[in-house]
Structure 1
Amino acid sequence: MKPLVPTIRAGALAPILGWMAKSGRPVEAALRDAALGEQAVGDPDSPVPLLNAIELLRGLARAEGPDIACRVASGIEIQEIGALGAAIRARPTPRQALHVVSVLMPRHCTHERFTVENTASGVRVIESWSVRFDAEALHLAQQYVAALIRALCAATRGAAPLLDRVEIPPHPSVGVAHLARWLGRVEAAAAPRLVVEVPARVADARLAPLTGAHTPPPEWTTLHADGDLLQSLRWTIAAMLGPEEVSLDSVAAAAGVTRRTLQRRLAAEGLTFSELLDGTRLDLAIRLLTQSAAPLGEVASRLGYANAPALTRAVRRWTGATPRAVREKGAAGLQGRNAAAGNGGAKR
């Protein structure tokens, strides 16, 4: 079965949040409105809920205009999107880079399909989603993908037009005409898929050299489309933790199910939502305390606690030790206690 929560790497949000920060837009408010926490602006390779990421883009589009994905991607370097971007830019040409995306996509997103075909005139990319979006969300998501492909092609420093043709599902209010200035020849798609055609002169041009490009590290694992339900939920909760409360309703919304359905599925795993939330906080607390030098106040904020004393009380309840002792002992010293939490729930 597919994971309950459609998931994407946080690096997909990096260009969007970077554009907002540079343009003086309220990043924290946008994250809060999309029910995302600090993980979305931290490690670019950490998983975040896909539907929340799309809501962040939708909110920005409604404030800034329906071509916002093209505007965001117009000035970026493709490696900004994390390990996938770095792997792309390690290839010598756009053609080779796009074929790498088709191979690595399962590591980047659970529900995105990305295929690349060599044609007589160049390269054709076909992108679609195995999760249902409304017309506005689908247009914005696929506009962003098309704009990122254009950004990759722009790294050849070749002459325009960089794309031969783009076929994209129309925006429900403004169609596709607003994309022509960015993408060139744009046509409205009848099917819920994106088609981008790159001419051979661009597809086979040399990408500008990039210092420090690398392939994904071994731990950058596949986000399995038939993966573990609880792992999928832990990723979601971790990405949502922060100043705002992570509730059963907010996690159900990220999963695209009702709260009752989520409760039923958790009950089948022998867990309550409170236990899952507690267990996710426990795992993240130990990781932050043992693998970083972040001050306790910063760790508390990351986990959604008001202050360091609240964090201390929670860590004592979970482990019987203070955060300082956990930091000194390291994760190995807490393995037995952590294992007692079972399948994701630190017992109260």
Structure 2
Amino acid sequence: MKPLVRNATLSGYVELSQSLGIDPRGLMRQAGLDPAGLAVQDRWISGAAVILLLELSATAARREDFGLLLAERRRFSNLGPISLVIREEPDVRSAVELLVRHEYMYNEMLHNRLSESSGLATLKVGLEVGEAMATRQATELAVGAFHQVLRNFLGTRWQALSVCFTHSAPADLGTHRRIFGTTVEFNREFNGIIFYGNDLNVPNPMSDPLLRTYARQYFESIAVSRDTTVLDRVRDLIEVLLPTGRCSIEQVACSLGVDRRTVHRHLAASGETFSSLLNATRAQLAEHLVANPRRSLTEISGLLGFSAPSAFSRWFRERFGCSARDWRAQRTGPRGLGEGPPLSAARRGPHL
């Protein structure tokens, strides 16, 4: 399976493209990406498609610094749930090590390494795409984003000793020197950042010791294994796509960077079909949503991807053996708030 990245990787892409006078949606469709999908930040999409989009955009805008301009728009929040944890880490070292160790949680193409020697720290930034293609813009986006993270911790006046790129210098170095200073170098043997090792020991000014434990506990509860299976990926994508009303095997395959036959084959190897996984995921979400009296059944219908409340009602009765309204009453009635029925029909019934 090809590596994926979170939609948040393209945060700011539409605005940047429009400011440079190019058509972001047309370019996204050309790269095989769904423009409407950008609204779902946690959706996973093909890393190769993102790389292609950045190269197409740089060419259309005639800006060799396109990836770097996009990096300037990155924020901690673009990293997803891990951003909540690194903000509370006690020092720069632990924050950067956490980002490197859990890089697969926000970008499966990234393969970074932090090393120290002779008082210097080197953060090498690598991209593994799985196919031969130009990666200049994606590389500058990744290095620029890490540079932004370091500046968030060390202050806007902080400068690296050297910012290195394996590709050649652009015709216009203005943006690179504005962001990195005069220490940016090209045609080097690796992509990354060299800085003083002592910078890693600088306390994190954003850290709140009282929140650190809670942040770590939260992160450990959501952290996924690097060995996430295709089944896990499809299930996660179903959860993300259901509220958009665009949850189909075609959309899932597009997000995974494969065709629908490949998805079918991987699911079959796990004894599943797309329909069975969709129904099981819906049932699990429905139990939590319907049990919450603050959500209307019409709202829940939309969150579960149904085109109309009547379709949701029919599905729920077939799946759980009673209406959603009756099921909610059993959960929240005077017999015992939150106790629920002895065993839900979703677990008793046949696996559709």
Change (3 A) 1:51 1:98: same
Rounded to whole Å, the distance in 1 between the matches of 2:320 and 2:98 is 44
Match of residue 337, structure 1, among 321, 329, 345? 345
What's 2:118 paired with?
120
What's 1:247 paired with?
248
TM-score normalised over the length of structure 2: 0.71
Structure 1 vs Structure 2 CA RMSD: 4.4
Change (3 A) 1:179 1:200: same
* SS of match in other structure, 1:197: strand
* SS of match in other structure, 1:305: coil
* SS of match in other structure, 2:289: helix
- In the alignment, is residue 101 of structure 1 matched against residue 99 of structure 2? yes
Change (3 A) 1:14 1:186: same
- In the alignment, is residue 317 of structure 1 matched against residue 318 of structure 2? yes
Verify the 8 A CA contact 1:8 1:50 in the aligned structure 2: yes
What's 2:186 paired with?
187
Deviation at 1:101, TM superposition (A): 1.9
Written as runs of structure 1 = structure 2, the 5 A alignment for 1:55-94 is 55=50, 58=53, 62=57, 67=65, 70-74=68-72, 77-78=75-76, 81-94=79-92
160-169 or 276-285, which moves further after superposition? 160-169
Verify the 8 A CA contact 2:13 2:70 in the aligned structure 1: no
Verify the 8 A CA contact 1:109 1:223 in the aligned structure 2: no
What one-letter code is carried by the residue in structure 2 that aligns with 1:146? Answer: V
Deviations 1:251-294 (A, max 9, x none): 22322333223223333333332232232333233333336844
Rounded to whole Å, the distance in 1 between the matches of 2:245 and 2:226 is 29
Written as runs of structure 1 = structure 2, the 5 A alignment for 1:94-243 is 94-110=92-108, 112-132=110-130, 135=133, 138-155=135-152, 156-162=154-160, 164-167=162-165, 179-184=176-181, 185-188=184-187, 194-200=191-197, 202-211=199-208, 212=211, 214-215=215-216, 217=218, 218-225=220-227, 227-243=228-244
Change (3 A) 1:95 1:133: farther
Verify the 8 A CA contact 1:121 1:200 in the aligned structure 2: yes
160-169 or 58-67, which moves further after superposition? 58-67
- In the alignment, is residue 51 of structure 1 matched against residue 46 of structure 2? yes
Deviation at 1:99, TM superposition (A): 1.8
Verify the 8 A CA contact 2:3 2:109 in the aligned structure 1: yes
Change (3 A) 1:209 1:270: closer
Deviation at 1:9, TM superposition (A): 6.0
* SS of match in other structure, 1:219: helix
Verify the 8 A CA contact 2:241 2:247 in the aligned structure 1: yes
Rounded to whole Å, the distance in 1 between the matches of 2:4 and 2:86 is 20
Change (3 A) 1:264 1:28: same
What's 2:334 paired with?
none
* SS of match in other structure, 1:149: helix
Change (3 A) 1:207 1:271: closer
Q: Count residues in correspondence.
A: 325
TM-score normalised over the length of structure 1: 0.71
Rounded to whole Å, the distance in 1 between the matches of 2:36 and 2:298 is 21
Q: In percent, how many aligned pairs have the same letter?
A: 19
Rounded to whole Å, the distance in 2 between the matches of 1:315 and 1:239 is 20
Rounded to whole Å, the distance in 1 between the matches of 2:55 and 2:309 is 33
Q: Which has the larger Rg?
A: 2
Structure 1 runs not aligned, ≥5 long: none
Change (3 A) 1:266 1:197: same
* SS of match in other structure, 1:209: coil
Rounded to whole Å, the distance in 2 between the matches of 1:28 and 1:296 is 34
Change (3 A) 1:254 1:289: same
Deviation at 1:305, TM superposition (A): 2.1
What one-letter code is carried by the residue in structure 2 that aligns with 1:90? Answer: E
Deviation at 1:206, TM superposition (A): 4.0
Rounded to whole Å, the distance in 2 between the matches of 1:72 and 1:87 is 24
Rounded to whole Å, the distance in 2 between the matches of 1:175 and 1:97 is 35
Deviations 1:292-317 (A, max 9, x none): 84433333333322233332222223
Change (3 A) 1:222 1:270: closer
Change (3 A) 1:76 1:250: closer
Change (3 A) 1:315 1:109: farther
Higher relative contact order (CA 8 A, sep 6+): 1
Rounded to whole Å, the distance in 1 between the matches of 2:242 and 2:290 is 16
Rounded to whole Å, the distance in 2 between the matches of 1:154 and 1:86 is 17
